Every structure is written in structure tokens, then in C-alpha cells.
Amino acid sequence: MAVAHSLGFPRIGADRELKKALEAYWKGDLAEAGLRDVGRRLRAAHWQAQAAAGIELLPVGDFAWYDQVLTHSLMFGVVPERFRDSHGQVTLDTLFAMARGATQGCCGGVQAQEMTKWFDTNYHYLVPEFSPDQAFTLSWTQLFEEVEEARALGHRLKPVLIGPLTYLWLGKAKGAAFDKLDLLERLLPLYGEVLDRLAAQGVEWVQLDEPILVLDLPQEWKSAFERAYNLLQRAPLKKLVATYFGGLEDNLGLAAGLPVDGLHIDLVRAPEQFPTILDRLPTYKVLSLGLVNGRNVWRCDLERALTVIEHAAERLGERLWVAPSCSLLHAPVDLEREDQLDPEIRSWLAFAVQKCAEVAVLARAAEQPDDPRVQAALQTSRAVQAARAASSRIHKPDVQARLAAVKPRHSQRQSPFAQRIEQQRARLNLPQFPTTTIGSFPQTGAIRLARQAFKQGKLALADYTEAMQAEIRHAVAVQEQLGLDVLVHGEAERNDMVEYFAEQLDGYAFTRFGWVQSYGSRCVKPAVIYGDLSRPAPMTVEWIRYAQQQTHKTMKGMLTGPVTMLMWSFTREDISREQQARQLALAIRDEVCDLEAAGIGVIQIDEAAFREGLPLRRAQWRAYLDWAVDAFRLCASGVRDDTQIHTHMCYSEFNDVIEAIAAMDADVITIETSRSQMELLEAFRAFDYPNDIGPGVYDIHSPRVPDTAEMVQLLEKASERIPAERLWVNPDCGLKTRAWPETEAALVNMVAAARQLRATH
């Protein structure tokens, strides 16, 4: 019988119970025992839900108080010195201090560990910090306790661990420079100890996640795999190595040959791995097929998956397992609760609980294809696929016709930058080192309350509009008083830079409870692209026009770009990401043109997620960058030469994508640079980046107000790399998370810094 298993389940809770409990605990409103109780109840409920859906082998170890990578750091004693109290005890508060920093308690005044994106997902993990003399000691027993817990509930279980190579890969060498791979020999005995202990608990199978096997790996890392797993082979329990988020490609032979008992592959992201894998896998090994997408919200096309299952069952028999493509951590919890979704759209969706049921059906089908439950599920699936393929809510001939008529010239401004900028300078008449901000001003409690009241129908549209206009008047008055050159309206009316636009586009749906963990207690609820996208009416024009009416200075229109809209949404699977980006581009293009027609001379199109979209494998970068750049150009190129297009990206590493950034051909790009002391501008200098640049001169993530001298010094550094006439002066990013007093104080200094530079250059 094919085994139905799951690689991991969302831990946050269908009602974000974990989020609420964590935040109450951090505030001091919930005691540790209460928090632990919530965790225990969630684990029990999640095992129960998976088992009820038909999952036979349940994941244990997918629960984490904050982040699963952090749990591993605790388990192995990878707790940097600054988090250790005088007794060397590792407690729940140590864990939270590592995650969030601490101002008091056990390790007062310490900075949290760094956080970064988990592969190409929107989940963020805490980066392990390794010192050259790093010792590893078993310091955290959560996993063993949870194994007992699941066992006591009568479940058949499979502990989940991050494999040793992936764990090391994710970490960072701190202190003296050294190769973290050198730590492997010291780390492996710990894995041995953990596995032995699990075996002693009666565990039969353990899952070791090695997603780095889908990356371009240096040769030393590839070689280390065999060494490591040869050593782990001794532990008396069976091991399943799990890979996901891509194809094994050049690592296929390596992964198939590891001395373990099973391999999981992601057939959603990399379907071409099947059937090749069948010929490469030793005949004693289990093959787990990831056929149900763990990263999206659509129902599985069971018929298509079944063709794979049938073929695999024939070859593998008992050795066939079925699973979601990756951990369900990246999917919302339960569709059952979506009582306000349009029924037609709802019928196309599956969240984590429903995905478990799909896995179970596929596993059953391997054994008994004629089982009535299998047949019924298959029939429903066929009906859903057919309905989607024919639905007029999805397929819009006018959108498709418009896309088909797009010509290369539509992605091309009328004149080259050198000519455009002359016309823009003549029109805008700005000083040297023009000052601006990135768009948002503080989202105060009053703003949020007004929006909430409006959404709940407690505040009339006219009153809400007046409240937002008052915010705009205030923001404009402050900016005029500060002496900024290019003003913004402040984005008070926006809840979120993607959702705000998605709500106004046709083809987007919204869930009520479709939360996915982003990091710690933070969750996001991405909008769902279900159909061809279009813009029925202008989205921002009235607000921006109103803002412009309040001032004689230049008002900058503010939009979110197509790539960022796409990256932060759940996307369609029936058409490519490229096509969806182009549809978004046309919708935004209309807005850009309407803003221009309303007399707006500067329009910023934010592409915060541009770099995030880069594929995991280098060989696929070119293709992505080509369509991503083109989508941006398509949305930005409908305007006259004297309309100035800005873009904004809130990071950092541009070295490897600078050519693409230049190809976007925005007249001005604003970027985050203050924390790197302008070193990030090096990429722009080395490439001879031709257009205007606004390197952020202060960090908006902290309430600290930098003084003028500090910003002058940064700008001087910038002007060593970029000609002064092409430099803008602005903060690193939007100011929505800041309060007004520190915002004004910092901007006063920023304007003063720009004036000083004008006087000396």
C-alpha cells in the first residue's frame, strides 16, 4: 500500500492561535504554561486534522515556537555567547531573545539573530551564527517531547529534521573568516545522537530535509553529502531525505545514491524528474512523490497526478509514497472556514487540510484505483478542471486580445534617458541633490481605525474620504515646511502596497483566513490571482490629484509594480508567471497614463520584490530577468519623455542583477544603502549605471534620528561613486512604520544635508 505522508503542517493555527498566544506571552499577558498549553493543543489539533484527512505518517518537529531553523540551533546548542545567561541555561526566553533581541531579562540589550528568506518562499528563518570554535551540544529536547506527545495520542509518526548539510548551508560564519563546512565533522555526532535517541523512542522513519540539493552546489558541498550520510547510516532507524522547491538536476545521481532508505522529490516544481528518477533510484529505496502543491491554493489536478501514480505504482509497488510537494507551512490552513468566498472560486481551492485529503486519495488510488472514494474524488477533480478551463470569470477575451497586440515598442520609452532627463529637468526645475521620500508616511492608529470603521460600514465613504484627505493635507504641509522637493501624498489610504491595488483589479480574490506564516508571529494573507487581470477604473488618480492640488511643488504618484504584485500574491497555475506579470503590467500602465493625464509629472513604480523572484538555479536567471524587466518597461513606457518614472527597491545586493536593473530604464531608482555605508553603490559605479539614483541616506527600520553630518558623510561617499548631478537624497524606504516626531526630525536633517551638499558641490 502506498503511504500517504506529509512533510509538515502549518503551525500558526486556523485562527492564528499561535500568533495570538505568542504576542500575549511577549506582552506579559500570558504565562509560559499558558503558551505551552496553546502549543500542545495546536499540535494535537493539527495531527488530528491530518490523520482525519487520511495522512498515515504524521510529521513531528514541524511545530516551532518561532522558526524551525531556530529550533535546530537550540537543539544543537548553537546559541551565541550574547544570549547565554550566567547559568548557561537555554530556555524559551533564550529562544525568543535570539529571535527578537532583548532589552531586559536573561540577556538584556542584545541584538536578535539575522533573518532571511527561506529559499524562494516568503517565509523567513533565523540565520544560525557559527563561530570558528563552534561546539555542538544537545541543548533542547523539544523534538523528543513532541514525539512522546504524538505517540501518546496514538499517532503513527515521522520526526522531521533539517539535514546537516542544509542546516550548515543556512548558517553564517561569524568572527574570524572560516569555512562553515569545516564544522560538519563536529556537527554530525550530534545528528547521530539525535537519531539514536529517536530510535530509542521507537521511531521507525525520520525525515531529513535537504532542500539545498535543488541548488547549484559547490563541489565540496556535494562531496560532503556522501561523507555525512555514510556516517548517519549507522543510526538504527530509516531515513527519508526530502528535497523540494525545485529539481535535483545535476544532483540527481548524488541524491538517489545516498545511503538512506528513501527520497522525496518535488514533482510540482520539477515534474520532469519523473520518470527519470525511477531508473536512478536503487531498488531498495522508497520514493516519495510530491504531487500536491504545498505552496499554492489550488486543488490538485488528480487525473494528471494519477497518471504519474499509476506508472510509479507499477514500478515501485510498496516503495511508493505520496506527499505534498513541500511542507504545507506555505499554504493557508483550512478552506472550510472560508464562508464568504464566491462559491465558484471556492470550488477551485484547497488549503492544507484539503491538500492532505488529496494526498490520501492519490495514495489510495495507487493500490485500489477502482475504490469508490477514489473514483468520486477523481470525478470531482475532473469537473473542477473542466469548469476552470471554461470559466468566463477566468478567461477574458479582451484582456488576451490586448496582450496579444502588445508590440516591442510598447516596452520602449520614446527617447533614450539622456534626452528624457533634459526634458524632465526643464519641466520639474529641481535643485541639485533633489530630496524626496519613498511614499508612505506614518500609518497612525487613527488612520487604521478609520479604515477599519470604513470597512465595517461604520464610517460613511464621504467621512472616510475626508479623513484620508486630512491626512494628505497634513503630510503635504509637513513636507512643504521641511522643504522637500518632490512630495508624496503619504499612502494613508493603503492597507498594504499589494492588497490595495489587488482589491481594485479584476481577476483577484481575497480570503478571510488564508494566513500564511511570514516569520515568528507575523502572517501574511496574500491575495489570489484567479483570472485574467484588468483595471476597471483608475485606482489612485483621485488621491494623487487631490494631493497635487494642495501644493505648487511636484507631487509624485505612487504605484506598485507588476513583479511585486505577482511575487506577493498566490498565482495561477494554468498560465505562466510571465503572462500574469504582463497582464498586471498593462493594468498598471493604464494607471500610469491616467496619472500623467491628470498632470502628475513624477510617477514611482515600486518593485520591492524584484530580486526575490530570482530562480534558485542560476541557469534560469536570464529567462526570469528578461520577462521581469520587460513587465516593468511595459507598465512604465506609455508616458511622454518629460514624465519622470521612478522605481524603488528596498535592498541591497545589486551586483549580480545590475544589468537587468539598468535595463528597466527607470529615470530614477531609489534603493536601500544606508546600512551598507553606500558600499552597495559599488555595483552601480562599476557598471556605469547611466540613470539617476537615490541611495537611502538613513535607515527607516529604527526610530533613531541620524544627524545631518552623518547623512552628509554618506552622500559624500555616494558622490565618489555616482556623479553628483545624478544623485537624489531620500530615506532607505517608506516611513509607514515610524511615528511622526522621529520622521520629521530625521527629514529636517536630511534636507539640511542636501543643502550642505549643494553648497559644496
- In the bound state with ligand GLN, the residue whose beta carbon lies nearer, of 414 and 495, is 495
CA distance 547 to 635: 23
In sequence order, the 6+-apart residues with CB closer than 8 A to the CB of 36 are none
Reading the block at residue 678, the C-alpha cell is 553606500
- For strands 644-649 and 668-671, give the pairing: parallel
Q: Which residues are at the interface with ligand GLN (CB under 6 A)?
A: 438-440, 491, 497, 558, 606, 608, 648, 650, 733-734, 736
CB of 440 to ligand GLN, least distance (A): 3
CB of 734 to Zn ion, least distance (A): 6
553 is in an annotated binding site: no
CB of 695 to Zn ion, least distance (A): 13
CB of 696 to Zn ion, least distance (A): 8
- For every residue of 580-616, DSSP letters joined together read HHHHHHHHHHHHHHHHHHTT--EEEEE-TTTGGG--S
Chosen from Zn ion, ligand GLN, none, partner binding at 268 (C-beta under 5 to 8 Å by type): none
CB of 671 to ligand GLN, least distance (A): 10
CA distance 571 to 73: 33
Chosen from Zn ion, ligand GLN, none, partner binding at 358 (C-beta under 5 to 8 Å by type): none
700 is in an annotated binding site: no
Chosen from ligand GLN, Zn ion, none, partner binding at 180 (C-beta under 5 to 8 Å by type): none
- For every residue of 175-201, DSSP letters joined together read SS---GGGGHHHHHHHHHHHHHHHHHT
Q: Tally the residues of the chain.
A: 761
Active-site residue flag, 489: no
For residue 322, what are the β-bridge partners? 4, 289
Per the CB < 8 A criterion, the answer to whether 189 and 237 are in contact is no
- In the bound state with Zn ion, the residue whose beta carbon lies nearer, of 306 and 733, is 733
* Catalytic member of 330, 552, 701, 761: 701
CA distance 674 to 86: 36
CB of 387 to Zn ion, least distance (A): 40
Which contacts qualify for 97-102: CB closer than 8 Å, 24 or more apart? 98/70, 98/73, 98/74, 98/126, 99/66, 99/67, 99/70, 99/126, 99/520, 100/26, 100/520
CA distances in angstroms from 377 to 48, 211, 305, listed in the order given? 22, 31, 12
494 is in an annotated binding site: no
16 is in an annotated binding site: yes
17 is in an annotated binding site: yes
- In the bound state with ligand GLN, the residue whose beta carbon lies nearer, of 270 and 498, is 498
CB of 3 to ligand GLN, least distance (A): 43
In sequence order, the 6+-apart residues with CB closer than 8 A to the CB of 639 are 413, 592, 593, 596, 603, 645
Chosen from ligand GLN, Zn ion, none, partner binding at 440 (C-beta under 5 to 8 Å by type): ligand GLN
Chosen from Zn ion, ligand GLN, none, partner binding at 558 (C-beta under 5 to 8 Å by type): ligand GLN
- For every residue of 118-135, DSSP letters joined together read -TTSS-EEEPPEE-TT--
- In the bound state with ligand GLN, the residue whose beta carbon lies nearer, of 558 and 664, is 558
- In the bound state with ligand GLN, the residue whose beta carbon lies nearer, of 8 and 442, is 442
- The single residue among 733, 751, 754, 757 that binds Zn ion, judged by CB under 5 A, is 733
CA 462 to chain centre: 36
522 is in an annotated binding site: yes
- In the bound state with ligand GLN, the residue whose beta carbon lies nearer, of 129 and 732, is 732
728 is in an annotated binding site: no
In sequence order, the 6+-apart residues with CB closer than 8 A to the CB of 730 are 435, 436, 437, 438, 670, 694, 696, 697, 750
19 is in an annotated binding site: yes
- In the bound state with Zn ion, the residue whose beta carbon lies nearer, of 252 and 565, is 565
Give the x-and-dash track for 626-655 against Zn ion (CB under 5 A): ------------------------x-----
- For strands 668-671 and 320-324, give the pairing: unpaired
CB of 290 to ligand GLN, least distance (A): 32
122 is in an annotated binding site: yes
For residue 4, what are the β-bridge partners? 322
- The rounded radius of gyration (Å) of the Cα atoms in the chain is 27
Largest CA distance in the chain: 83
544 is in an annotated binding site: no
* Number of Cα atoms under 13 Å in the Cβ half of residue 144: 15
Task: Give residue for cell 504554561.
Answer: 33
CB of 548 to ligand GLN, least distance (A): 17
- In the bound state with ligand GLN, the residue whose beta carbon lies nearer, of 510 and 651, is 651
CB of 497 to ligand GLN, least distance (A): 5
φ, ψ at 319 (rounded to 5°): -85, 5
* Number of Cα atoms under 13 Å in the Cβ half of residue 497: 27
Chosen from Zn ion, ligand GLN, none, partner binding at 736 (C-beta under 5 to 8 Å by type): ligand GLN
Helix axes 32-53, 17-27, angle to 10 degrees: 170
Nearest residue to ligand GLN, scored by beta-carbon proximity: 734
- In the bound state with ligand GLN, the residue whose beta carbon lies nearer, of 238 and 675, is 675
606 is in an annotated binding site: yes
CA 251 to chain centre: 26
CA distance 259 to 363: 25
Nearest residue to Zn ion, scored by beta-carbon proximity: 650
648 is in an annotated binding site: yes
- In the bound state with ligand GLN, the residue whose beta carbon lies nearer, of 107 and 608, is 608
Chosen from ligand GLN, Zn ion, none, partner binding at 497 (C-beta under 5 to 8 Å by type): ligand GLN
751 scored as a contact of Zn ion (CB under 5 A): no
Per the CB < 8 A criterion, the answer to whether 520 and 67 are in contact is yes
CA distances in angstroms from 516 to 10, 286, 760, listed in the order given? 8, 31, 51
Q: How many CB atoms lie within 10 A of CB 726?
A: 16
507 is in an annotated binding site: no
Binding-site positions for Zn(2+) read: 648, 650, 672, 733
Positions marked active-site: 701
Contact residues toward Zn ion (CB under 5 A) are 650, 733
Binding-site positions for L-methionine read: 438-440, 491, 606
Binding-site positions read: 16-19, 117, 122, 438-440, 491, 522-523, 568, 606, 612, 648, 650, 672, 733
Binding-site positions for L-homocysteine read: 438-440, 491, 606
